[in-house]
């Protein structure tokens, strides 16, 4: 039987020894070397029987097929558009996955999307070389007009969405803002200035407290105080 | 990574005298400073306007004067955009923005003048004090000229002459003698987007600004350097309004700077 | 002239007081401030980000790029002309080599992680302070790392073995050696080792152990700085 060296939900640093023993299973950002399990990032350790998981608390976005992202068109290509997702890797939206109409060869693509346009898209493919393909052909995917983009740590995006979308639903209700959350850490918001200011304040709070529990309740309390609304 | 609707979006805030951080158009962010932060400098100041953080350091040396000013010391000012401060900055020679900021801050200090250059003379025609001010940007969240100028002035005001032993500078010991300050000099830059004037921009606002006017003033209110920047031109009415706003803001900063020297 | 005691009253094996903080540069992906006595280093990490020119991209692994620079007012004497020099180029390179063994490059292929180290004030041990700050900044940025790296300089001044030399000790007018080390924490492997001065083999071997012990103390400061980042909110809240 092995020995666990840390407590559940403890903050751990790269190289920190988490457990000793061959029967532990490292996942997330935990790794094994010989009979020891270590962390490879600054994060939160979760211990579930023999499974030792490290959830990172910072780090860049790792693109995955199926992720919905918010991106900015950065270039017009022959066969589509290059879209900036904010990380090390840019993505391409091919013509065939962008529009329903037939586009003639050599047509001016800026008619559809121009440099600076904001898109809420889905990653359809990620190659082993980290080349990313996007698509707009799915429910809810669209060009986003107006609004502004806020940068948020990609690893904490699940906290903005919340279990069963509980957090984001609450944010929308309390601030009456349109909110599109990209898994790449780009959050597009659009609302009245005062509402947006409240929203950015709450987003900052979620960022700072993402590693704690009871966050949804505290955010609810905070929003109810600020807006005077009751948020079921 | 900015969408092309952002310029339009920010105007909805400006219409309501609001900014992305909740301030009014003519409000400064929280201003913090700390003097004498660098022991290896003869004078120094670490200054923050909100998130923008710069460190200014003064170094003194003894040199021959320039032939056309045999009884005056010299001043050199350089603003460097450290790669620490932004994803846009790379190590290497100063880019054009760093050069512009350096020269604007330099002009104000030189013309006012901030220092009594004649009092920097040790022996006419032979030896004078050279004063170098280096302002390094540690975190760039906008308004660099004003923050750099403010930090440079504070560093000069708190700098002291090093000991001189046998005509050579002993950097290990500082005397109690401060530099001969003639004027307190501070730049205030006013920015314009659409019909709105604002000050102390965060970096997003700085990038969206259509024009800017830097007015560097000295303690008697007179202007000692001017620089217009940005791609768009200014109308005479704009300039008049900017003069008024810059004077008001200068008075605010001057109060802080005066409070620094006891 | 013989070396008797340390100017600041420290024991031969004592490190100078240290201070570390992460997240000090908000625009960077990760950052740190590290102070060892009067030597101060800022480190900022940007990345992983796109590596240009593209021909430098490696589809199997990312690139780590380090740049060390002393600020113009950071030297003990005259102003240092900005722009780097051969010394700073060499230090940039050995810094990269000191960190490379722990950074998991295969986690970010085709891209670059840039580490910038700038020192506003120095009193010897600057490359060590830089490496220590850089390791913190990398961890703060969430760059996948096997372990932390901790650096400290040791040396022999006259007949005494010292830990964490100051400028005055390096400048002693007799036989001196200034030996910067960096250690990978778990394994104790050495990722930085250089020397200025004169040393004999036997004392060098003794110094490896002294350096390792000193580096463990540096590590504790680094660890606290990383945990401190989460303390202000975390403690008062219940963990499920």
Which pLDDT score is estimated for B253?
A: 98
Weakest mean pLDDT among A126-140, B12-26, C84-98, C201-215: A126-140
Distance between CA atoms of B43 and B198, rounded to whole angstroms?
A: 32
Question: What value does the mean pLDDT of chain A take?
Answer: 94
pLDDT exceeds 50 at position C235: no
Q: Does residue A156 sit in the same domain as residue A220? A: yes
Examine residue A94 and state whether it is found in any structural domain, yes or no: yes
Which pLDDT tens digit goes with each residue over C188-213?
999 999 999 999 999 999 999 999 99
Examine residue A232 and state whether it is found in any structural domain, yes or no: no
pLDDT exceeds 90 at position B2: no
**A145: exposed, middle or buried (C-beta count within 10 Å: 0-12, 13-18, 19+)?**
exposed
Q: What is C1-39 written as a DSSP string?
A: ----S-TT---TTPPPPEEEEE---TTSSEEEEEEETTE
Percent of chain B at pLDDT exceeding 70:
98
Question: Domains in chain C, start-ordered, CATH in brackets?
Answer: 18-228 (3.30.230.70)
**Residue among B5, B16, B18 whose CB faces A145 most closely:** B5
Backbone conformation region of residue A49, classed left if phi is above 0, alpha if psi is from -120 to 50, else beta:
left
User: Which has the closest alpha carbon to C71: B155, B207, B65, B257?
Assistant: B155
Single residue among A144, A160, A184 that ends a domain in this structure = A144
Examine residue A61 and state whether it is found in any structural domain, yes or no: no
Examine residue A89 and state whether it is found in any structural domain, yes or no: yes
User: The domain spanning residue A201 has which CATH number?
Assistant: 3.30.1370.10
Chain A residues with CB under 8 Å of B141 CB are none
* B221 inside 8 A of chain C by CB: no
Pairwise CB contact (< 8 Å): A117 & B4: yes
- Nearest CA of chain C to the CA of A100: how many Å? 32
Question: CA separation (Å) from A79 to A122, B260, C16, C77?
Answer: 18, 61, 60, 59
Q: Which CATH number fits domain B6-260: 3.30.230.70, 3.40.140.10, 3.30.1360.70, 3.50.50.60?
A: 3.30.230.70
pLDDT exceeds 90 at position C84: no
pLDDT exceeds 80 at position C236: no
What pairing do the DSSP bridges indicate for beta strands B121-123 and B160-165? Answer: unpaired
Q: Beta partners for B217?
A: B186, B223
* B4 inside 8 A of chain A by CB: yes
Which pLDDT tens digit goes with each residue over C125-173?
999 999 999 999 999 999 999 999 999 999 999 999 999 999 999 999 8
User: The domain spanning residue A139 has which CATH number?
Assistant: 2.40.50.140
**Residue among C144, C223, C229 whose CB faces A40 most closely:** C144
Q: Does residue A76 sit in the same domain as residue A138? A: yes
Domain residue limits, chain B: 6-260
**Residue A111 domain boundaries:** 68-144
- Nearest CA of chain B to the CA of A59: how many Å? 16
Which pLDDT score is estimated for C1?
A: 53
Kindly state the helix (H) or strand (E) to which residue C135 belongs, with its residue range: helix C126-141
Which pLDDT score is estimated for A102?
A: 77
Single residue among A144, A175, A199 that ends a domain in this structure = A144
Per-window interface: B 6-65 vs A, CB < 8 A: 6, 8-10, 12-13, 16, 18, 20, 22
User: Which has the closest alpha carbon to A52: A35, A33, A70, A31?
Assistant: A31
**Residue among C49, C62, C226 whose CB faces A42 most closely:** C226
Confidence grade of residue B65 (pLDDT, cut at 50, 70, 90): very high
**Residue among A72, A84, A193 whose CB faces B16 most closely:** A193
pLDDT exceeds 50 at position B70: yes
Which pLDDT score is estimated for B13?
A: 96
Contact, B52 vs B139, CB < 8 A? yes
* B78 inside 8 A of chain C by CB: yes
Q: Does residue A89 sit in the same domain as residue A132? A: yes
Tell me the whole-structure pTM to 2 decimals.
0.95
Single residue among A94, A112, A144 that ends a domain in this structure = A144
> What total of structural domains would you count in chain A?
3
Mean pLDDT of all residues in C42-55: 93
Question: What value does the mean pLDDT of chain C take?
Answer: 94
Structure tokens at B38: 């660098």
């Amino acid at each position: 039987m092995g020995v666990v060296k840390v407590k559940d939900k403890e903050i751990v640093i790269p190289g920190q020894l988490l457990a000793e023993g061959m029967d532990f299973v490292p996942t997330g950002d935990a790794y094994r070397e010989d009979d020891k399990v270590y962390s490879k990032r600054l994060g939160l350790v979760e211990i579930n029987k023999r499974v030792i998981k490290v959830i990172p608390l910072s780090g860049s976005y790792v693109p995955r097929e199926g992720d919905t992202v918010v991106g900015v068109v950065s270039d017009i290509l022959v066969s589509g558009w290059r879209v900036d997702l904010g990380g090390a890797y840019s993505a391409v939206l091919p013509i065939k996955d962008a529009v329903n109409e037939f586009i003639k060869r050599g047509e001016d693509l800026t008619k559809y999307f121009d440099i600076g346009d904001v898109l809420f898209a889905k990653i359809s493919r990620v190659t082993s070389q980290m080349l990313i393909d996007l698509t707009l052909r799915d429910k809810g995917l669209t060009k986003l007009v107006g609004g502004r983009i806020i940068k948020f740590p990609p690893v904490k995006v699940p906290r903005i969405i919340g279990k069963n979308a509980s957090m984001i639903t609450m944010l929308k209700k309390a601030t009456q803002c349109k909110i599109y959350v990209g898994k790449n850490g780009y959050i597009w918001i659009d609302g009245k200035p005062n509402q947006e200011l409240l929203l950015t304040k709450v987003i900052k709070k979620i960022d700072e407290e993402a590693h704690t529990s009871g966050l949804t309740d505290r955010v609810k309390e905070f929003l109810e105080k600020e807006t005077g609304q009751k948020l079921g | 990574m900015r969408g092309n609707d952002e310029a339009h979006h920010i105007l909805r805030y400006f219409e309501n005298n609001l900014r992305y951080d909740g301030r009014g158009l003519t409000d400064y962010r929280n201003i913090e400073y700390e003097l004498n932060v660098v022991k290896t400098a003869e004078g120094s100041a670490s200054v923050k306007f909100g998130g923008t953080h710069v460190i200014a350091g003064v170094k003194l040396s003894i040199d021959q004067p320039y032939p056309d000013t045999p009884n005056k010391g010299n001043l050199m000012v350089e603003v460097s955009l450290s790669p620490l401060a932004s994803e846009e900055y790379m190590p290497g020679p100063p880019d054009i923005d760093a050069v512009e900021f350096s020269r604007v801050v330099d002009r104000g200090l030189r013309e006012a003048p901030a220092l009594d250059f004649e009092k920097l003379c040790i022996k006419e025609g032979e030896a004078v004090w050279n004063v170098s001010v280096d302002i390094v940007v540690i975190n760039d969240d906008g308004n660099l000229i004003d923050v750099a100028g403010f930090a440079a002035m504070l560093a000069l005001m708190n700098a002291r002459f090093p000991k001189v032993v046998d005509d050579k500078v002993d950097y290990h010991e500082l005397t109690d003698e401060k530099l001969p300050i003639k004027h307190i000099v501070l730049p205030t830059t006013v920015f314009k987007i659409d019909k709105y004037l604002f000050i102390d921009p965060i970096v997003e606002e700085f990038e969206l600004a259509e024009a800017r006017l830097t007015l560097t003033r000295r303690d008697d209110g007179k202007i000692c350097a001017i620089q217009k920047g940005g791609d768009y031109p200014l109308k005479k009415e704009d300039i008049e309004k900017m003069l008024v706003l810059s004077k008001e803001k200068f008075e605010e900063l001057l109060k802080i700077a005066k409070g620094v020297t006891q | 002239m013989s070396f008797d005691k340390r100017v600041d009253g420290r024991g031969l094996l004592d490190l100078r007081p240290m201070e570390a903080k992460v997240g000090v540069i908000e625009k960077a992906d990760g950052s740190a401030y590290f102070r060892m006595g009067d030597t101060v280093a800022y480190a900022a990490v940007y990345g992983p980000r796109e590596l240009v020119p593209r021909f430098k991209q490696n589809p199997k692994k990312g690139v780590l790029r380090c740049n060390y620079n002393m600020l113009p007012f950071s030297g003990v004497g005259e102003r240092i002309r900005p722009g780097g020099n051969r010394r700073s180029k060499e230090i940039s390179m050995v810094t990269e080599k000191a960190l490379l063994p722990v950074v998991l490059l295969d986690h970010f292929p085709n891209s670059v992680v840039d580490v910038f180290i700038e020192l506003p004030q120095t009193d010897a041990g600057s490359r060590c302070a830089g490496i220590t700050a850089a390791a913190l900044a990398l961890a703060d940025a969430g760059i996948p790392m096997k372990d932390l790296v901790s650096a400290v300089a040791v040396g022999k001044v006259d007949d005494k073995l010292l830990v964490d030399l100051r400028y005055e000790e390096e400048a002693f007018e007799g036989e001196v050696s200034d030996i910067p080390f960096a250690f990978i924490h778990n394994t104790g492997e050495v990722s930085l080792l250089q020397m200025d001065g004169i040393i004999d083999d036997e004392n060098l071997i003794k110094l490896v152990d002294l350096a390792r012990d000193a580096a463990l103390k540096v590590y504790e400061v680094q660890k606290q700085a990383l945990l401190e980042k989460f303390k202000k909110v975390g403690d008062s809240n219940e963990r499920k």
